[in-house]
Amino acid sequence: MKLLNKFISGFRRSLFLKVFSLSAVVSLVLITAIGSTLYNRLEDGIYKDKIASSISEGRAAIQFAKYRFTIESLNAKPNFSSLAEEIVKSTNVSAAESGREVVLIQTKGLKLRGVPASLTSNFLQPESVPKTFRKATLKSDELTWERGTLSYVNKLELPGLFVGGVLDIPKLGKYEMYMAYDFVAQERSVNLIGRSLWVTGFLLLILILLTASFVLRISVKPIRIAAEIAESITTGDLKSRMTVRGEDETARLGIAFNQMATTLAEQISRLENLSRIQQRFVSDVSHELRTPLTTIRMAADVISGSRATFEPNVARSAELLQSQIEKFEQLLQDLLEVSRFDAEAATLNFTKLDLNVVVKKCIADLAPVAGERGAEINLLTNSERTLIDGDSRRLERIIRNLLNNAIDHSEGGPIDITLAENESAVSLGVRDYGIGIQKQYWNRVFDRFWRADPSRSRERGGTGLGLSIAQEDAILHGGDIKVWGEIGKGANFVLTVPKTAGTPIGSYPLNPSPDAP
């Protein structure tokens, strides 16, 4: 079974094995069909020739015997017994050597004086002649023949042919005469031809497979090399190229492949340069804006502290100024975090922590906001303590972002937080029963600044980067966030991280789909 599975696996992955196997099957079928057809035609020809010559010889022998008996009946004292024995003894060697035997059998009810009921040459058993064939011979006025088996007293049996006729002896009546011809020589010839065809077919199949293997290796080699180089390019080795020889189709493939690889390397280089410029721009702008923003924030705090003495419209302007500055500060922090992810400069500060405590803290902090939206947050867990290795700041940020997203889209409905664990991982599910999300958008919710419904304004000053940052934080922990949603039924985000840093997740404690087991 293992060998079969190994062959099936290799067959799926190897073009050489596929074409070679197909060539072997087609060659075997064709050689078998041609060999069988040729064997059958030769066999039929050999036996037909033997049957034709045997019938011709048997007709002559029976006609001659009729003539002898007729002449003998004209004598004054005919000696039919001696004549019968003479006709039988005319074949003094067995059919295995001479190729024929003679059988004389008295017709039922006819008793020739001094003649035995049956006479055969070389101890051939008269019962060798089939009864049905004897009946057909007696009923027919013509010569009859039938294939059968020649059986001797010494248990020797030979395949052969019986040619029969009736001797109409004057003054005495009818007497059956059969000529038996063996197929030993023909059977040897047919067997020799069969063995020769099978050996020739086998050798031809081996030759075809060896030739196919040689040709296929030459033909598949450029494709295999192209696949290996393509895999190298996917791993980041953009300098790998195919060696081009000649001007045939393989050479054109190599030239086109190398040109494609060069163009791809140039495009990747341009994109990397643009990405670095973008990252530096975002980082530099974010850092440069922090200093003036701090000054603006200080001035806004002073103005906000004195808004009680302002006129109502001026006081409202001071509140708006304060809220927009807070939003701007949050956006700068998110942009700085995103630039760290892009630059692969984000790091984790692992500590042993209780995820239950982190979750409860986030729920307590966001409970007033949820209350304003009419949403009730429910924590569902079977354990009082859930210890994992993680960065508390980043895990708290993930949970806050998922909760904020659920509150914004809950439409005032309840929010269920489910905490589950197994031997290797911990899952945290945040389920709301609000507007939901279409399946085609499940993977896009983590794109930066993406919204499923652009007509909806961002609730509570969101930056559009929360879920993207949450996913990046989860990946840093060796985990991920899976999402399920359906319009009108809400959405479910499931964070899964390993319990021990650096270990694989294995099985997931929670499935995002509510219909999954």
Is there a domain that residue 245 lies in?
yes
Separation between Cα atoms, residue 387 and residue 500, nearest integer Å = 9
Point out the domain boundary residue: 232, 264, 297. Answer: 232
Average of per-residue pLDDT across 239-258: 81
C-alpha atoms less than 13 angstroms from C-alpha of 104 in its C-beta half-sphere: 30
Give yes or no for residue 71 having a pLDDT over 60. yes
Is there a domain that residue 337 lies in?
yes
Q: Please state, in angstroms and as integers, the Cα–Cα distance from residue 451 to each residue in 408, 429, 466, 469, following that order.
A: 12, 21, 12, 15
Are 161 and 50 a contacting pair, CB within 8 Å? yes
Are 94 and 153 a contacting pair, CB within 8 Å? no
Q: 331 and 473, same structural domain?
A: no
DSSP for 367-382 reads: HHHHHHTT--EEEEES
Average of per-residue pLDDT across 338-345: 66
Q: 217 and 355, same structural domain?
A: no
Reading the block at residue 93, the tokens are 């060697």
Is there a domain that residue 511 lies in?
no
Domain harbouring 145, CATH code: 3.30.450.20
Are 345 and 325 a contacting pair, CB within 8 Å? no
* Model pLDDT for residues 197-243, shown as the tens digit of each residue: 999 999 999 999 899 888 888 888 887 888 888 888 787 777 888 88
Give yes or no for residue 251 having a pLDDT over 60. yes
Query: Residue 235: helix, strand or coil by DSSP?
Result: coil
Are 256 and 226 a contacting pair, CB within 8 Å? no
Separation between Cα atoms, residue 343 and residue 136, nearest integer Å = 103
Number of Cβ within 10 Å of residue 228's Cβ equals 12
Domain harbouring 404, CATH code: 3.30.565.10
Q: Does residue 390 come out as left (phi exceeding 0), alpha (psi in the -120 to 50 range) or beta?
A: beta
Point out the domain boundary residue: 316, 346, 376. Answer: 346
Residue of 321, 287, 329 whose CA lies nearest to 301: 321
pLDDT computed for residue 463 by the predictor: 62
Separation between Cα atoms, residue 153 and residue 297, nearest integer Å = 127
Residue of 116, 98, 96 whose CA lies nearest to 106: 116
**Selected residue with higher pLDDT from 361 and 92:** 361
Give the pTM: 0.49
pLDDT computed for residue 94 by the predictor: 41
Is there a domain that residue 516 lies in?
no
Domain count, the chain: 3
pLDDT band at 41 (very low <50, low <70, confident <90, very high): very high
C-alpha R_g of the chain? 50
Which of 150-154, 225-229, 334-338, 423-427 comes out lowest in average pLDDT?
334-338
What is the distance in angstroms between the CA of the first residue and the CA of the last residue of the chain?
32
pLDDT computed for residue 68 by the predictor: 82
**Selected residue with higher pLDDT from 115 and 469:** 469
Which of 5-14, 165-174, 261-270, 388-397 comes out lowest in average pLDDT?
5-14
Number of Cβ within 10 Å of residue 505's Cβ equals 18
pLDDT computed for residue 17 by the predictor: 81
* 261: containing domain: 241-346
Average of per-residue pLDDT across 460-466: 64
DSSP character at residue 122: T
Q: 93 and 69, same structural domain?
A: yes
Is there a domain that residue 46 lies in?
yes
pLDDT band at 393 (very low <50, low <70, confident <90, very high): confident
Give yes or no for residue 286 having a pLDDT over 90. no
Q: 56 and 169, same structural domain?
A: yes
Q: 183 and 40, same structural domain?
A: yes
Is there a domain that residue 466 lies in?
yes
Q: 372 and 288, same structural domain?
A: no
Q: 330 and 206, same structural domain?
A: no
C-alpha atoms less than 13 angstroms from C-alpha of 33 in its C-beta half-sphere: 6
Separation between Cα atoms, residue 463 and residue 332, nearest integer Å = 9
Q: 272 and 406, same structural domain?
A: no
Q: 223 and 298, same structural domain?
A: no
Q: 201 and 128, same structural domain?
A: yes
pLDDT band at 91 (very low <50, low <70, confident <90, very high): low
pLDDT computed for residue 203 by the predictor: 93
Are 151 and 26 a contacting pair, CB within 8 Å? no
Q: 324 and 366, same structural domain?
A: no
Number of Cβ within 10 Å of residue 28's Cβ equals 15
Give yes or no for residue 88 having a pLDDT over 70. yes
* Model pLDDT for residues 149-208, shown as the tens digit of each residue: 899 888 888 998 999 998 877 666 677 889 999 888 888 899 999 999 999 999 999 999
Reading the block at residue 112, the tokens are 């020739």
Is there a domain that residue 158 lies in?
yes
Q: Does residue 490 come out as left (phi exceeding 0), alpha (psi in the -120 to 50 range) or beta?
A: left
Give yes or no for residue 282 having a pLDDT over 80. no
Is there a domain that residue 454 lies in?
yes
Q: 260 and 225, same structural domain?
A: no
Residues in Cβ contact with 314 at an 8 Å cutoff, skipping those fewer than 6 apart: 307
Are 338 and 469 a contacting pair, CB within 8 Å? yes
Q: Please state, in angstroms and as integers, the Cα–Cα distance from residue 378 to each residue in 4, 213, 384, 418, 491, following that order.
A: 53, 67, 15, 8, 15
User: In the predicted model, what is the mean pLDDT of the chain?
Assistant: 81
Point out the domain boundary residue: 346, 369, 393. Answer: 346
353 membership: H or E segment, kind and range = strand 351-354
pLDDT computed for residue 37 by the predictor: 92
Reading the block at residue 435, the tokens are 């507007």
Domain harbouring 302, CATH code: 1.10.287.130
Separation between Cα atoms, residue 414 and residue 266, nearest integer Å = 52
pLDDT computed for residue 92 by the predictor: 45
C-alpha atoms less than 13 angstroms from C-alpha of 76 in its C-beta half-sphere: 0
pLDDT computed for residue 110 by the predictor: 57
pLDDT computed for residue 93 by the predictor: 42
